[in-house]
């Protein structure tokens, strides 16, 4: 188990290395640079800036410069926000992004799993239809559409929740729901299928025939076994929450890190773009490892070699 965890954690390093190489190459493979402004800077100024930031060096040297700084935790200066370090930009926005992601994740689990369980217990009755309808709506509504609709109804029409900032719980509700909508649907669908599968198992029939109360069969035999496979979709769910959050941040004007991603590509803010990509790649890779290890931990039948 320990060697499995170690191997999986160490595997993140080559992944991040590959991500950085690919992003770096892509970023530099097209014309344009961080000094392209509406008013063109004089060539002399541009070359002075390039020399100052090391952009006049060959690409491999630039990569080595970047990588050796990155390893020590230095993300470099921002080319666009020239008075700021990328470390500061990330440090400013990251807590908000993580906060949004964690709340959406909790909401997705706390609503999705009970919804799936209720659907399976009331199979082909109204709880099932209700839950299935919620899943269908959730799966077929992109998060940006859900975000717009929530703003229109609950913020503009009803005036219940303010949007556009991140100052207190009333600002948190709508973005969290918008981000969690799709994961809720996926988790509910998966939980329902898994519960229905478990219902047909021999040990459930045995438990019933031993005369165990229905509630304890459900809670001790069915739910505990049915939730094991649900853990496997938590990986993709977390990946969705990480990459999906910046669309939500954009719609709700939330001051997280997501807003910088697209801008940094447009403005060729190389260091900021590298930092953002590495951050998201690390989050996705790391959360996947956590989920896989969790899966091995809670299901003793799984053996990893």
Partner 1 sequence: MATRSTALPARAARPRKSAGLWSDAFGRLRKNRLALVGLGLVTLLLFTGLFGPLLAPWSYSFQDLKSVAAGGGGPLPPLAYGHLLGTDQLGRDLFSRLLDGARISVSVAFVVQLVILTIGVPIGALAGWFGGRLDNALMRFTDIIYAFPDLLFIILLTVVFRETFFGRAMDGLLIVFVAIGLTSWVTVARLVRGQLLALKETEFVEAARAIGVTDRKIVTKHLLPNGIGPIIVAVTLGIPGAILAESTLAYIGIGVQPPRASWGSLIAEGQKYVRAEPHLVLFPAIAIAVALISFTFLGDGLRDALDPKLKGKQ
Q: Give the per-residue contact string, 100-139, with partner 1 (x = CB under 8 A; - = no).
A: ------------------------------------xx-x
Structure-block tokens of residue 62: 């630039």
What is the rounded distance in angstroms from the CA atom of residue 38 to the CA atom of residue 15? Answer: 37
Phi, psi of 71 (to 5 degrees): -60, -35
What is the rounded distance in angstroms from the CA atom of residue 246 to the CA atom of residue 250? Answer: 6
Q: Give the per-residue contact string, 58-77, with partner 1 (x = CB under 8 A; - = no).
A: --------------------
Calculate the CA 196 to chain-centre distance: 29
Chosen residue from 87, 141, 225, 259 binding partner 1 by CB under 8 A: 141
- Region for residue 269 given its phi and psi (left: phi exceeds 0; alpha: psi -120 to 50; beta: otherwise): beta
Burial class (CB in 10 A: 0-12, 13-18, 19+), 122: middle
Phi, psi of 77 (to 5 degrees): -80, 150
The partner residues of 77 in beta bridges, in order of sequence, read 85
Site for partner 1 in 22-61 (CB under 8 A): 23, 26-27, 29-32
Chosen residue from 9, 231, 247, 294 binding partner 1 by CB under 8 A: 247
Question: Nearest-CA neighbor of 135 among 178, 174, 187?
Answer: 187
Question: Nearest-CA neighbor of 184 among 152, 141, 121, 145?
Answer: 141
CB of 193 to partner 1, least distance (A): 4
What is the rounded distance in angstroms from the CA atom of residue 264 to the CA atom of residue 276? Answer: 9
Stretch of 66-74, 164-172, 208-216, 273-281 lying at the interface with partner 1 (CB under 8 A): 273-281
Please work out the total of residues on this chain that contact partner 1, with binding judged by CB under 8 A. Answer: 51
Q: Indicate whether 9 belongs to the interface with partner 1 (CB under 8 A).
A: no
What is the rounded distance in angstroms from the CA atom of residue 27 to the CA atom of residue 266? Answer: 10
Q: Indicate whether 188 belongs to the interface with partner 1 (CB under 8 A).
A: no
**Measured from the CB atom, is 140 or 216 closer to partner 1?**
140
Chosen residue from 4, 70, 81, 144 binding partner 1 by CB under 8 A: 144
**Measured from the CB atom, is 86 or 276 closer to partner 1?**
276
The partner residues of 85 in beta bridges, in order of sequence, read 77
Chosen residue from 133, 140, 214, 253 binding partner 1 by CB under 8 A: 140
Site for partner 1 in 277-296 (CB under 8 A): 277, 280-281, 283-285, 288
Burial class (CB in 10 A: 0-12, 13-18, 19+), 276: buried
Structure-block tokens of residue 161: 């929740």
Chosen residue from 54, 95, 142, 162 binding partner 1 by CB under 8 A: 142
CB of 279 to partner 1, least distance (A): 9
Chosen residue from 24, 53, 190, 252 binding partner 1 by CB under 8 A: 190
**Measured from the CB atom, is 212 or 243 closer to partner 1?**
243
Q: Indicate whether 196 belongs to the interface with partner 1 (CB under 8 A).
A: yes
Calculate the CA 19 to chain-centre distance: 17
- What is the contact surface with partner 1 in residues (CB under 8 A)? 11-12, 14-15, 18-19, 23, 26-27, 29-32, 136-137, 139-142, 144-145, 148-149, 152, 156, 189-190, 193-194, 196-197, 233, 239, 242-244, 247, 250, 261-262, 265-266, 273, 276-277, 280-281, 283-285, 288
């Amino acid at each position: 188990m320990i060697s499995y965890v170690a191997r999986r954690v160490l595997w993140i390093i080559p992944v991040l290395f590959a991500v950085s190489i690919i992003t770096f190459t892509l970023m530099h493979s097209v014309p344009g640079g961080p000094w392209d402004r509406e008013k063109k800077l004089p060539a002399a100024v541009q070359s002075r800036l390039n020399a100052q930031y090391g952009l006049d060096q060959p690409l491999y040297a630039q990569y080595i410069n970047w990588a050796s700084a990155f390893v020590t935790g230095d993300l470099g200066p921002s080319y666009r926000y020239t008075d700021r370090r990328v470390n500061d930009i990330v440090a400013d926005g990251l807590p908000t992004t993580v906060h949004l992601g964690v709340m959406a994740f909790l909401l997705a689990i706390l609503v999705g799993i009970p919804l799936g369980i209720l659907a399976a217990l009331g199979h082909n009755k109204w709880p099932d239809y209700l839950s299935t309808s919620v899943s269908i709506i959730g799966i077929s509504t992109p998060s940006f559409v859900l975000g717009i609709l929530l703003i229109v109804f609950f913020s503009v029409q009803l005036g219940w929740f303010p949007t556009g900032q991140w100052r207190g719980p009333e600002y948190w509700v709508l973005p969290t729901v918008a981000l969690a909508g799709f994961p809720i649907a996926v988790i509910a669908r998966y939980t329902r299928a898994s519960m229905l599968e478990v219902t047909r198992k021999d040990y459930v029939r045995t438990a019933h025939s031993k005369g165990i109360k229905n509630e304890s069969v459900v809670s001790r035999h069915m739910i505990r076994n049915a939730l094991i496979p649900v853990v496997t979709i938590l990986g993709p769910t977390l990946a969705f929450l990480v990459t999906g959050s910046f669309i939500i941040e954009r719609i709700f004007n939330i001051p997280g890190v997501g807003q910088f991603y697209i801008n940094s590509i447009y403005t060729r803010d190389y260091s900021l773009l590298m930092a953002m990509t590495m951050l998201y790649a690390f989050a996705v890779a790391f959360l996947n490892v956590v989920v896989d290890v969790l899966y091995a931990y809670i299901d003793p039948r799984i053996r990893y070699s």
